[in-house]
A and B are shown apart, each in its own frame.
Chain A
Amino acid sequence: MPVPETPPHGSPFEQTRWSIVIASRNTDDTTRARDALGKLCAAYWYPLYAFVRREGHNAVDAQDLTQEFFARLLEKNWLEAVDREKGKFRSFLLAALRHFLANEWDRARRLKRGGGVTMLSLDAHTAEERYAFEPADSMTADRLFERRWALTLLEQVLAQVRHEFAAADREKLFDELKGALTGGKVPYADVATRLNLSEGAVRVAVHRLRLRYRELLRAEIAETVASEGEIDAEVQHLFAALAT
């Protein structure tokens, strides 16, 4: 397992993305914070898109609005917004979006966009395809946002684990073993036969997969909160968001 990079100062937690953004409020150097915020936004844009759609905006408006929101967030308004809304990235993002919807969207869409605007790469087609699969309209925009947030986070982690297996040319092994991540029984002997491995090697792989997945899952949650002590509370929040 790779050893996490040791930061020059402080604890490793200070290097997570949201804590970098939070910490940047006290420094002049905002480049790293802007980069960290951009990466977070790129990973979690879809829950916001789903929120905007569920609020009643049509697909075209929702795409424009989400783009515009992120562009402004990354351009100039983000630091003040962080000051207003300390705490978790998830809460910050939703609060900033509400503010944008209430105060700036009408004005923004009347104005032509200036040059040099940082656009976040959103795949509009994919966004609407995904939205078509959202649960029925009985779920409020807030509930949908929270649920979609939790699912997006899990998707990020699974994609990362799959990527690591793929890098070692072991995607088939991941597909055979992924059921173990939800506590499922793995038919060790069958998998071993199918992949031409020893049963012992499959057991090793399952155990390492579970450990690595847990490590990445907690690390991903850590990216979105301001301190290590908030991780477990966030896990509980995510459980609630997924409860039907």
Chain B
Amino acid sequence: METTRLCPQCQQPLAADAPSGLCPQCLLKAAAGPPPRASGVGLADDFIDIGDPAEVARKLPQFEILEMLGRGGMGVVYKARQRNLDRIVALKILPPGDATSSDFVARFTPARRAPSPSSTIRTSLMSTTSAKRAASTTSSWSMWTA
């Protein structure tokens, strides 16, 4: 017993006995191919909204998120306190597409050199750590001392 309802994705007729009203062929597609990646702004493995200070704070407990300084195509910048050194920093969080791209580190490097020379070494150490972490979690952030 077929109905004239169509699957909104593949446009094939949707059978009356479609599981939970969903197109079985499209349901099965999930089993083929690679696992889904996150879309939009966030982390692929542990998807967060980088524009949400509460989620960022949960993901990066080593920082106290104080306020958002700005956001744009390259990510979001927060004013934060680095807890272990008790200092105010600017925290830039990149969208996941940047974190997973092959030239990620190359693009990351100029950003970490942005602050004054005296703070570059400390910031570089932190940035390198985060870059390594980013390779496995696809999250990414960089930091400048204030």
B30 touches A213 (CB 8 A): yes
Q: Is the CB of B19 within 8 A of A158?
A: yes
Q: Which of B12, B16, B27 is packed against the most chain A CB atoms within 10 Å?
A: B27
Residues from chain B with Cβ under 8 Å of A158 in the complex = 19-20, 22, 27
Q: How many residues of A contact B (CB 8 A)?
A: 39
Q: Is the CB of B24 within 8 A of A200?
A: no
Which residue on chain B has the smallest CB distance to residue A234?
B31
A135:B1 contact, CB within 8 angstroms = yes
Chain B interface (Cβ < 8 Å from any Cβ of A): 1-2, 7-9, 12-13, 15-17, 19-20, 22-32, 35-36, 38-40, 42, 47-49, 51-52, 55
For A181, the chain B residues whose CB sits under 8 A away are 22, 26-27, 30
Which residues of A line the B interface, CB within 8 A?
130, 133-135, 150-151, 154-155, 158, 162, 178-179, 181-184, 198-200, 203-204, 207-208, 210-211, 213-214, 217-218, 221, 231-232, 235-236, 238-239, 242-244
Q: Which residue of B lies closest to A186 (CB)?
A: B39
The answer to whether A150 and B22 touch across the interface, beta carbons within 8 angstroms, is no
CA distance A189 to B29 in the complex (A): 26
Q: At the interface, is chain B mostly helix, strand, loop or mixed?
A: loop
Report the minimal beta-carbon distance from A195 to chain B, rounded to whole angstroms.
16
The 9 closest A-B pairs by CB, nearest first: A200-B49, A182-B26, A210-B36, A207-B47, A214-B30, A154-B19, A217-B31, A155-B19, A200-B52
Instruction: Given A204-B47, A204-B48, verify A151-B30 contact (CB < 8 Å).
Output: no
Please state if A235 and B36 are interface contacts (CB–CB under 8 Å). no
B-chain residues with CB within 8 Å of residue A238 when the two chains form the complex: 28, 31
Minimal beta-carbon separation of B146 from chain A (angstroms) = 27
- Would B28 and A133 count as touching, CB distance under 8 A? no
Chain A residues, CB < 8 A from B13: 244
For the complex, what is the distance from the CA of A198 to the CA of B49, rounded to whole Å? Answer: 10
Q: How far is the CA of A154 from the CA of B16 in the complex (A)?
A: 15
Chain A residues near B8 (CB-CB < 8 A)? 179, 184
Which of A182, A238, A242 has its CB near the most chain B CB atoms (within 10 A)? Answer: A182
- Among B25, B38, B51, point to the contact of A207 (Cβ < 8 A): B38
For A133, the chain B residues whose CB sits under 8 A away are: 1, 16-17
Chain A residues closer than 8 Å to B7, beta-carbon distance? 182
Q: What are the residues of chain A within 8 A of B49 when measuring CB–CB?
A: 198-200, 203-204
Q: A198-B52, A210-B36, A211-B36 are in contact. Are A217 and B30 (CB under 8 A)?
A: yes
Tell me the smallest distance from the CB of A181 to a CB of chain B, in Å.
6
Known: A182-B23, A235-B28, A236-B32. 15 other contacts (CB 8 A): A135-B1, A154-B19, A154-B24, A155-B19, A158-B20, A181-B26, A182-B7, A203-B38, A204-B47, A210-B36, A213-B30, A217-B28, A235-B31, A239-B32, A242-B24
